Amino acid sequence: MHICSGIPDYRSPGRPPYKPMQHKDFLANIPNRQRYWSRSLYGYPLLANADSNQTHQALARAEEQQQVKQIITQNVDGLHQKAGSLDTINLHGTIHNTICLSCGHSESRQSLQERLFMLNPKLVGTVKPKKIHEKPTASHRPDGDFVSSTDLEASFVIPSCLQCADGILKPDVVFFGGHIERSVWNHVDKTLEACDALLVVGSSLTVPSARRVVRTAMKQGAELAILNNQPTPMDDVANLCIKVSISLFMLYDIYIYQLSFGFVDLCI
């Protein structure tokens, strides 16, 4: 759903295979973290400067009119909030915060971005960060990753935690292979208890956490509508599947929420 905002996705047709950073690999050693942060230094501005698109805005309007009761998003880019959604559950966290895995101290990603540049002056200017409304290049990957031609990863300096100066700094997101916090699942499950209908917007539903939300809602008796121009693993159990362009569908504010008044929107 965030393609229209200029952020690449993982699974669009024709997109080359891409293995994102894995949770266990990030924790395994310093070179892997150097690789992640050196690439994120140039990839993050694309996410920081991205605009919400007409789909985010349509869902925010539906929320304001109480036609969408709750938004649960797999995306970590914060574009639902930029569009004006006030009550969003970030299932996989947010790329705009970082956390220390030792002491739990939180630091904004923008603050860390400035410290990354300050500690790695040789990298400044070697790659032009993307500005707002610029299209991503082939080097831009989902969730702020960036493939550069520089060979400076091995010498990249990662900032220390501002509080304990000891722990591993990690983006406050759930990497592939990582675990969603129990408190987040508690919030999701409590929301789904009152869910009459579930609208899935743009999600491939290939990630287990997304399918868990769908299955939990259906166990509660919720109806399922899927809006996606590609097949998903849950199409055969959905009450309604609409295989059209999401942006075109939302452009005319044609919502599926007429099924009932209790939608949770799960989007990717």
Report helix, strand or coil for 100: strand
Query: What pLDDT shows up at residue 224?
Result: 92
54-93+180-267 has CATH 3.40.50.1220 classification: yes
Alpha-carbon separation of residue 26 from 30, 175, 181 (angstroms): 8, 9, 18
More confident residue, 162 or 145: 162
Q: What is the pLDDT of residues 204-239, one digit of tens each?
A: 898 999 999 999 999 989 999 998 888 999 999 999
Indicate if the pLDDT at residue 261 is higher than 50: no
Q: Are 267 and 250 in contact (CB under 8 A)?
A: no
CA distance 267 to 255: 14
Active-site annotation, residues:
92
The CA angle 125-131-134, to the nearest 5 degrees, is 120
Alpha-carbon separation of residue 183 from 23, 121, 160, 186, 249 (angstroms): 19, 39, 27, 5, 34
Query: What pLDDT shows up at residue 238?
Result: 93
CA distance 236 to 162: 50
List the domain boundaries for the chain: 3-50+95-173, 54-93+180-267
Class (C level, CATH) for 3-50+95-173: alpha beta
Alpha-helical regions (H) of 169-245:
182-192, 208-219
